Every structure is written in C-alpha cells, then in structure tokens.
C-alpha cells in the first residue's frame, strides 16, 4: 500500500529535509484532501508537536474528521491519543514516548495499548546513523531498530520506520535496512525516508512493506495517478 504523507508545521503543509530544513510548502488542507482522495489512507504528522514547539491541532482535526488517517507528532500521553481518536483518527503513531533513557518505555506503551487497543497503535522506530531517534529526530538513543521490534510487538499493530539519513533528499532509500526490519518482525511495516522510484516501491511491496511518500510526490518525481493505480492493483 502507498500512503501519502501530510506534515504540518506553523499552520502549513510542509516537507522537510531530514526533519530540519523546510524544502517546500503544500496546498491548503482542502487541496491536500482532494489531491489524495484516491488513496485509502493518509498519514498526518504534527511536526511542531513532535519537537515540543506548539501544535497544529485544528489542521490535524480537519484531516482526521474527513479521511482515514494515521496521526502522529507529540503523542506522549494516553489522553492525547484518545483525543486524536475522538477527532476521527483511525490509528495513532507514537515515537518519542515509546522510549526513554533506559530503553523501551514499557509502562507507557502497556497503558496506551490497554486504553485504546494495540490495534490502533503504530510505533515509530525512526533511524539515523543506525540508531533510533526521537523528539522530532533531534535526539539519538542507543537503540537499533531491528534489535527492538520484537520487544515492541505486544503494544502495537505495526511500525512506521523512517530512514532519516535520506529523508526528503530524493536520493533513494536503504532497502537493505528495510529487509533487516522485515526479518525482525511479522507485524505490519511502513517504510519512509528517501523513497524516490517506482522500483523501490515495488521492492518494498515484494517484501510486504507499505510505502509512505512525501517529497517524491510533492515535487512531482512520482505521479499520483500512477501511484493510485498501483494501490488499486491496476
């Protein structure tokens, strides 16, 4: 499955390079919904909330109420997750709160899964230079994604795995990393970060991994109509 990404910062739809430098802005929320209407799922990330620098709650609610969404960014309490679901999100994406200095934050993840159901939780295990990064990808942990997926499985329905080293660079992704992740878990995997070509999408699909796309579709590198047709199996 191909999942378009909508990243929010400062009240706008944006695309960043490696989560830091803004490269471009997208259209209005209404325009983005229309643009991605042919896709069964949309991924919405509140980047301001992710880095603890504010939020884009009204825009998040707009998308969650009108499309099948997976929503993340700043989901660090059970109350925040419940609020997103009440606004219409189908699943919540948890990243920073899933980890702490000592490793996996089991107590929080257990509480979250019990409160909303693990089937509605996606855990973000984003990696830069081989280590999981948190707080909007600004802090590194000592954990490697492929080493912890099995420990996280009891708390979620799947994983969002971003190869941050190539995020937003239109230079291709690291398929071998995703192959290692696929061997590490049987749960649903969604790949992100640098996916640029139809060949990469096809290889991910062969591995049974979804592709979350941002920069490649915002710049027109990949054609939305062709991607929608692939999603529909045509």
Taking the model in full, what pTM does it have? Answer: 0.95
Burial, 211: exposed, middle or buried (Cβ in 10 Å; 0-12, 13-18, 19+)? buried
Strands 127-128 and 131-134: antiparallel
| 7 a catalytic residue | yes
Catalytic residue among 46, 48, 106, 126: 126
Q: 201 and 231 in contact (C-beta within 8 Å)? A: no
pLDDT tens per residue across all 234 residues of the chain = 999 999 999 999 998 887 777 778 889 999 999 999 999 999 999 999 988 889 999 999 999 999 999 999 999 999 999 999 999 999 999 999 999 877 999 999 999 999 999 999 999 999 999 999 998 888 899 999 999 999 999 999 999 999 999 888 788 999 999 999 999 999 999 999 999 999 999 999 999 999 999 999 999 999 999 999 998 876
Domains identified in the chain and CATH numbers: 2-231 (3.20.20.70)
Closest CA to 113 of 141, 82, 142: 82
Helix ranges, the chain (H)? 29-35, 47-50, 57-66, 78-87, 106-116, 145-152, 175-184, 198-206, 215-218, 224-231
Spatial separation of the C-alpha atoms in residues 57 and 68, rounded to whole Å? 17
* Rg for the chain, CA atoms, rounded: 16
Q: 160 by DSSP, 3-state: which?
A: strand
What is the per-residue burial (b if ≥16 Cβ within 10 Å, else e) of 106-134?
eebbeebbeebebebbbbbbbbbeeebbb
Q: Looking at 7, 46, 57, 174, which residue is catalytic?
A: 7
DSSP per-residue string spanning 18-32 = TTTEEEEE---HHHH
């Amino acid at each position: 499955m191909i999942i378009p990404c909508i990243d929010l910062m400062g009240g706008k739809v944006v695309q960043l390079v490696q989560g830091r430098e803004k490269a471009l802005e997208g259209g209005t929320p209404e325009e983005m919904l229309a643009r991605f209407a042919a896709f069964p799922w949309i991924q919405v990330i509140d980047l301001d909330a992710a880095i603890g620098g504010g939020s884009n709650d009204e825009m998040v609610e707009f998308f969650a109420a009108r499309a099948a969404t997976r929503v993340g960014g700043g989901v660090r309490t059970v109350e925040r997750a419940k609020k997103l679901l009440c606004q219409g999100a189908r699943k919540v994406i948890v990243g920073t709160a899933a980890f702490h200095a000592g490793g996996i934050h089991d107590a929080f993840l257990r509480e979250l899964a019990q409160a909303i159901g693990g089937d509605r939780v996606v855990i973000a295990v984003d990696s830069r230079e081989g280590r999981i990064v948190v707080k909007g990808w600004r802090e590194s942990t000592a954990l490697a994604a492929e080493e912890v997926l099995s420990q996280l499985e009891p708390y979620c329905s799947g994983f969002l795995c971003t190869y941050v080293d190539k995020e937003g660079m239109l230079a291709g992704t690291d398929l071998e990393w995703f192959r290692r992740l696929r061997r590490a878990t049987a749960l649903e995997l969604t790949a992100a970060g640098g996916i640029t070509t139809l060949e990469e999408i096809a290889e991910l699909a062969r591995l049974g991994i979804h592709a979350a796309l941002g920069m490649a579709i915002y710049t027109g590198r990949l054609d939305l109509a062709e991607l929608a047709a692939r999603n529909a199996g045509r």
